[in-house]
């Protein structure tokens, strides 16, 4: 009897550990190949309520960050190319998001930084890419939450 009870307890314990292990799973973060400038990747809101985000890309084929989240509203997105060699661009993937965002940065030479502004209303995931390097995996996703910008700023 005791050994049965022990087995049940052990099974419950293992199950609990398994569940904890799952819920504690942290999102995979790629090893940083370079240190982004401070402020990169943080979504901030200016006095007019415009959400601002800066992405970096360099002599590799990644956007840093490659995912970010905004609330419905106006977004001012800056992409900085810190590369010495590579030219990049920034476009939302046509037909991939809830609605198409046509604002884009067609060409970003090494050392260049460009800013686009657009308004999002439809919640969901909006994939974006550097069309020069899509095949090399230079893609990312902007997520628009269901909440309004006013509720997320403190």
Of 71 and 83, CB closest to Cu ion:
83
- Residue 24 DSSP symbol: T
* Cα(10)–Cα(8) distance, integer angstroms: 5
Of 77 and 130, CB closest to Cu ion:
130
Q: Residues near 124 by Cβ (< 8 Å), separated by ≥ 6?
A: 97, 98, 143, 144
Of 107, 59, 116, the closest CA to residue 83 belongs to: 59
Of 82 and 138, CB closest to Cu ion:
138
Residues forming the site for Cu ion (CB under 5 A): 88, 130, 132-133, 138
Of 88, 47, 89, 74, the closest CA to residue 144 belongs to: 74
Of 83 and 120, CB closest to Cu ion:
83
Looking at beta carbons, which residue is closest to Cu ion?
130
Min CB(83)–Cu ion separation in Å: 9
């Amino acid at each position: 009897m005791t050994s049965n009870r022990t087995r049940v307890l052990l099974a419950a314990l293992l199950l609990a550990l398994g569940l904890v292990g799952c819920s504690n799973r942290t999102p995979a973060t790629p090893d940083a190949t370079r240190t982004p400038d401070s402020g990169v990747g943080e979504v901030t809101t200016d006095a007019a309520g415009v959400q601002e985000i800066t992405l970096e890309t360099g002599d590799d084929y990644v956007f840093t960050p490659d995912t970010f989240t905004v609330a419905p509203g106006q977004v001012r997105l800056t992409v900085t190319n810190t590369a010495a060699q590579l030219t990049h661009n920034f476009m939302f993937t046509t037909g991939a998001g809830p609605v198409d965002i046509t604002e884009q940065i067609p060409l970003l030479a090494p050392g260049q930084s460009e800013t686009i502004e657009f308004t999002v209303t439809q919640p969901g995931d909006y994939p974006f890419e550097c069309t020069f390097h899509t095949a090399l995996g230079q893609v990312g996703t902007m997520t628009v939450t269901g909440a309004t910008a006013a509720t997320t700023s403190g």
